[in-house]
Structure 1
Amino acid sequence: MGEEASLARVAVTGSTGHLGGLVARLLADDGVPQRLLVRSPERAPDLPGAQVLQAAYGDRDAVERALEGVEVVLFVSATESVDRTDQHERFAEAAVRAGVRHVVYTSFQGAGPDASFTLARDHAATEEILRLSGMAWTFLRDSLYLDVLPAWVGDDGVLRGPAGDGAVAAVARADVARCAAAVLTDVLADPGTHGGRAYELTGREAITLDQATRTISDVTGRSARYHAETLHEAYTSRAVYGAPRWQVDAWVSTYTAIAEGALRHVSGDVERLTGREPMTLRDVLQAT
């Protein structure tokens, strides 16, 4: 292991993705040495003070080697899969064996074993694994990303889903990244901070999908409107993708969670952690 990697007290996973990459860049900008744990090293960002190490979540031995000497790790949840919780458990076991003191995990708003959004149940299971691991933990329970709402609009300009007139306090990826970087640097400076805390990361307002499409149209000039599907329509319209049932359930339950009000709560945690008011959908669209 190189000298930079041996000096790094923080590790970041998921840096080849949107969120982990943003966090890694923020840490690099602040001059924080770090290790980037990735499955595909050729896709990792080239950042000053960063050592890239190949370690898939399910490879306990590789993760343990990569985390040796690390004090705090940002654990970005794995890609959605039927065995995601098992991958998370193996990663946690490796982190414990490596001597990691504190894990910061990207969870989901309203995570719980009976959550309406089915993937939030995976997050609840992972949270329990981390609680029992013996490591200090911090959970960043982010809402849906504002950044993905434009991608939900189809080629025909219609955003379809069974969300009714429910509202979602969606959050910008950039705000989640700033929160994660703030927590990591705080823990490095004072190991006693943020332990045993769960932060709910939301935008500054809850918006309906009708409001979202109106904003998308206004800012981008692209025609967009919302169609509130029935549950039957939602499953039928997604059947063409040939995805497994658990995946379709996850897609559809994203909208039903909105309809039920499970993602409507607006928290002040983003501003508390970063000192900045969260971005709106309009801010996100204007920044792209």
Structure 2
Amino acid sequence: MSEGRWDDLLTESEDLCAEKRYKSANEKVLLVLNEMTVIYGENAPDLVNCYLHLAEIMLKQNQLNETEETLSLIKWILIKESGNLDQELILSHNARMEKLYCLMMIRHRSFERALNHASRGAYFCSLLLGPDHIETSQFYFQIGSILNNETWQSAESSCLNPNSKGSGMLNKVVDIWYQVLNDKMLNSSLLSFSQSKLQEGARMLELIAEFQLKQNGRTQPPDGKILHTRGLISIELGLQTEALKFIKCAHDVYSKALGTDNPVTKDAQKSLYWVEENLPNSKLN
């Protein structure tokens, strides 16, 4: 099997994992892992990507011991082979590993350790891709979610205004996704996102919207930017009805709060026109 086919199988595994079809996702990763082991040998650095995929599937199935064992193996391989690996590849592997460690610590309700892992992940990802990349945004989301966790807040009185810090991090996530998705809508030649990455982004935005609703109450108007961003990501996911609903709501919020001549209101209007012109069955009422 060619290296390109291995990459295809791992991408298929990611999509299956996003659909919660963990058994099928696991089978594809193991197929690639077994073939690569025959060629490169056991515990070779070329296998790290497969092990990371495997650890993510295990974690999503709440197999915490197996996840920790796999992450420990990855860490050992990276340390052992650090002199032979490209530094950007090491940063990429470390960022992905920190993300999984963070999620695992959250499952253990060890929030301070989870925060440390998320912070390191954001650092590695910023060095590799920049602080405003969507890959980096996932760590801002983790940090914001941890700081907004009421259980952890009550136990960590030394943390100054954690809720405020958490909100700032979550707003940063929205800003990054809005900018990337808006650019993509205006320039179709930009690189597309994988289905699993889009679904992850949509889930983050959904949870941020729920947090804002809880924080502001139902009497406050929803945040226009997150509505607009959820509309843009719905376009990428092919969810036409949702895209139209979110963007129209964002336009209404902006119009009432800021007026029709405000730049953000005009941006939402442009998005509405784009949906009408480019997506079938989405003519504005």
TM-score by length of 1: 0.30
Instruction: Give the structure with higher Rg (CA).
Output: 2
User: Whose strand proportion is higher, 1 or 2?
Assistant: 1
